[in-house]
Amino acid sequence: MTEASGTGESGLGQARPYDTVTVIGAGAWGTALAAMARRAGRTTRIWGRTREDIEAFSRTGRNDRYLNGVALPEGIEPMADLEEALAGTGCVLLVTPSRSLREMCGKLKGLVPEGAPVVLCAKGIEQGTGKLLSEVAAEELPGHVIGALSGPTFARETAMNHPTAVTLAFEFTPADRREPSQAPASRLATSLGSNTFRPYISDDLTGVEVAGAVKNVIAIACGMMTGAGYAENTRAALITWGLDEMKTLAEALGGRRETVTGLAGTGDLTLTCSSPTSRNMKLGLQLGQGIPRDECFGGQDTVVEGEVNAVSVNDLAERIGVELPVCRAVHDILHEGADLRQTFTDLWGRPLVGEPKALNVALDHPSHALERAMKAAQ
């Protein structure tokens, strides 16, 4: 391969970066991504729906509403006009909650320049349709290549320039496979990568998206059990079961199980289930402590993706005939009024099965047999 076809003097592939990056969404994660793009040397714009926040960002060079006290690199361009933010941009990082993604994509229609890829930076499955967010974006933004950025990332740490690694996933066309260094995923990895931000390239968009949606629900489960007073044994079991549920759903939808063992799956799951910095785990912690939902987060209206995903993930699983016991337990507690402790007791009381599943063994749980014996004796 010659240098003109993507190989430099080092023998490694050389990808053309996108010179201008536009971030849609000026919350904590959007701001962190803008900081990362700017540190990578890109012309960086960030759009936010609240003009007052954008004006404050422009004056101070910081976003104290969402990342209080965090110094950001100079040169980020905050914008309140969507058309201006998108004019001539090379790529778009779309950072909007899953429940409002379709609406936001509708606003972007006709404004995103031809050929500019759109990268989804939120995690979830559309409620009601069971569609992955990439499907939603493709419907609303026809003609644009859609990808996803996912991985173990807390916004504050990324914004503060702590070493971070993520996965960038796009479906690869035959042309991308012939010239992988010029595929959108490769070009974006080059556009965003720096000495502290390391993107990995994936062609398994489905696997990456499913992992991101399911891990939010599992994090709530871990928070619930921790808040209820249980400890590390319990959390480790839930993380392991959650990882298996991520693999099961990803594979059922055409993704690869191995994708879930990477940054977008195991990495993100481990982080989110291990710290109350995660809003998902923090919600679970408060509910496990007996705090009513409307009093969680000090009564503030806080978007928790896993709360929405608990509905959409379970609806999708039922639609395609996949069992996800942990996700179902979280759904029932959050949305059906199920008792938290009894629901998790029932989760532990499922039939005893083999590990691996190929053993094809399923045994009645001893506690159930004991209950039946006691009833029979009465």
The residues that are catalytic are 215
CA-to-CA distance for 91 and 187, rounded, in angstroms? Answer: 10
Q: What is the DSSP string of 105-126?
A: HHHHTTTSPTT--EEE-S--B-
CA-to-CA distance for 315 and 304, rounded, in angstroms? Answer: 18
Nearest to 290 by CA among 201, 363, 194, 224: 224
Look-up of token digits 């629900």? 217
Please answer whether residues 155 and 275 qualify as being in contact, where contact means their C-beta atoms are separated by less than 8 angstroms.
no
DSSP code of 299?
G
Contacting residues for 68 by C-beta, under 8 A, at least 6 apart:
none
Torsion of CA 355, 256, 267, 272, to 10 degrees: -80
CA-to-CA distance for 83 and 113, rounded, in angstroms? Answer: 10
Cβ neighbour number for residue 321 with a 10 Å cutoff: 7
Q: What is the DSSP string of 270-298?
A: HHHTT-TTSHHHHHHHHHHTT--GGGGGG
User: Residues, the chain, total?
Assistant: 378
Bridge partners for 169 per DSSP: 148, 202
